[in-house]
Structure 1
Amino acid sequence: MKLIKLDAIDSTNDFLKTLNSQEDLENFTMVTAENQTNGKGQRGATWATESGKNLTLSILTKNTLTPNDQVFDLSVITSLAINQVLEDLNIPQLSIKWPNDIMSYNKKIGGVLIENIHKSGGEIHSIIGIGLNVNQTDFENLPKASSLAVICNKEFDKTIFPELITARIKKTITEWRTNSEKLWQIYFQKLFKKGVPMPFQNTKNEHFMGIILGVSKTGKLQVQLEDDSIAEFDIKEITLLY
């Protein structure tokens, strides 16, 4: 697996996407940056990270998905892989906040943004962007964020994470091809606040109560409402309040 280390870049995802359009890159090529000035998150948000403290990683995967696959599969694979790497490092109380935020206790420690590129001939290349808060300790104005260092009260060697995470993603892809249903069930089990009555907010800023039941194969959150009906929501349609 090839690793490209950058000092500073606007976005590792954008850098890898451009490089992939210019060269025939090795599958699972990785890009890291010590400082990312324009990192992207879900819902068009930015991913802010303190320079030199955290992991900013983008990974190229080729032909993991086919046009007949559900695009959300890779999101499940990636979040499970990161979760397993952190479990192996004894990070406590891990869960996955839909769709693919990595949580410890009630704090967000990592996030994933996947961008798919449809190539001529039907191939799909995916850029997996991963942000993981490793050694940052100051989260002023970010009350729901934390890091491995804060949670475990020690510093981590962040250089170990690119290869650990990429190798686990490769392994999980192989497992997915033979037993995707088992991995779906593990993903359901690890969902943050699953089965607990929780407040939500919709696009009209209306608040309502619901219980997370699971996630559809297309990545929509399945919520049981107060009238016992079950509704499905896309990522831009609902916010979990916690």
Structure 2
Amino acid sequence: MNIIKLSAIDSTNSYLKKLAQKSDLDTFTVVVAEHQTEGRGQMGTNWVSDYGKNLTFSILIKFKEFEIAYQFYLSMAVSLGLLEVLKKRVDVSLFIKWPNDILAENDKVAGILIENVLKGNFIRQSIIGMGINLNQELFPKDIENVTSLKNISGTHFNADQLLNKIVNSISYYVQFIEKKEFVFLKKRYMKTLYKFQKPSMFVDANDELFLGKIIDVEESGMLIIELENETTRKFSLKEVKFASR
């Protein structure tokens, strides 16, 4: 594992992407920063983090033969790898919120951003950006439903030790992609998915409120929700969200 440590950077994903274009980096090269000035989340959202209090890093993963059609299995593998490490460190229920946020009970404790480099119908390499709320205790008032490992446990965490365990855990789950053992990943993912098979209120892209329950996630990443009349609707990222909790 090659770890590159930075004091401050705009985005570890952007930095690692540029570095990978210039150099032949080993798979599982990691860039970690004390602070990101322009940390990014899904669909252009910002990741807010106090200097030196959280764990923000990116991992380069290379693939020999990973078809784009199966891309969501990478999201499953990464979120499962992160979840497994965090579950051993806090005494509350943790879930994966579709597509790959990590929740402690109902509050977000970690987020993941995956950016793929394609060649034909295959993913040649992926850059996995991760932000984990580690030791930050106060968050901006305009950010709702967010917490940190320290707030949950009362314990101060060592970022370097946690980083190594997370990368090793993700590496373990990524091997199931390389071996094409997708059924294993899907079962594990669905077992830990937030509100799976539980009636919940959702809001669609037109701000329409509706009742439904998550019944599946396609290998492309589409979320399948069953409605009250037992019909189903499919949603991509940002087309649906849980109603305010």
User: Contact conserved, 1:101 with 1:112, CA < 8 A, in 2?
Assistant: yes
Contact 2:203 2:241 in 1 (8 A): yes
For the residue of structure 1 that corresponds to 2:70, the secondary structure is coil
Cα distance in structure 2, aligned partners of 1:147 and 1:91: 13
- 1:119-151 deviation digits (Å, cap 9, x = unpaired): 589661100000000000002322200000001
Conservation of the 8 A alpha-carbon contact between 1:119 and 1:125: no
- 2:241 paired residue number: 239
1:145-224 → structure 2 map (5 Å cutoff): 145-176=146-177, 177=179, 179-224=181-226
Q: How much does 1:101 deviate?
A: 0.2
**Which segments of 5 or more consecutive residues in structure 2 lack a partner in the other structure?**
none
* 2:203–2:240 CA contact under 8 A, matched in 1: yes
Partner of residue 107, structure 2: 107
SS at match of 2:49: coil
Q: Report the more deviating stretch, 150-159 or 60-69.
A: 60-69
Residues of 2 paired with 1:240 and 1:49: CA distance? Answer: 24
Report deviation, 1:91. Answer: 4.4
Aligned equivalents of 2:211, 2:53: Cα separation in 1: 37
- Read off the aligned partner of 1:187 and give its amino acid letter: Y
Q: Which amino acid aligns with 1:228?
A: E
Figure out how many residues of one structure are paired with residues of the other and give that number. 242
Task: Give the letter for the 2:174 counterpart.
Answer: I
- Alignment TM-score, normalising by the size of structure 1: 0.95
Q: Which amino acid aligns with 1:234?
A: S
Cα offset, 1:156, TM superposition: 0.9
Contact 2:94 2:105 in 1 (8 A): yes
What is residue 19 of structure 1 aligned with on the other side? 19
Counterpart-to-counterpart distance in 1, 2:218 and 2:120: 29
Partner of 2:33: 33
1:130–1:118 Cα change, 3 Å: same
User: 1: CA distance between counterparts of 2:202 and 2:13?
Assistant: 30
Write the distance in 1 (CA, Å) between the matches of 2:152 and 2:7. Answer: 27
Change (3 A) 1:99 1:180: same
Distance (whole Å) between structure 1 residues aligned to residue 135 and residue 65 of structure 2: 33
The more displaced of 3-12 and 188-197 is 188-197
Q: Secondary structure at the match of 1:137?
A: coil
> How far off is 1:10 after superposition?
0.3
Residue 117 of structure 1 corresponds to which residue in structure 2? 117
1:226 matched residue in structure 2? 228
Aligned-pair identity in percent equals 38
1:51 Cα deviation (Å)? Answer: 0.8
Q: Which residue of 2 aligns with 1:6?
A: 6
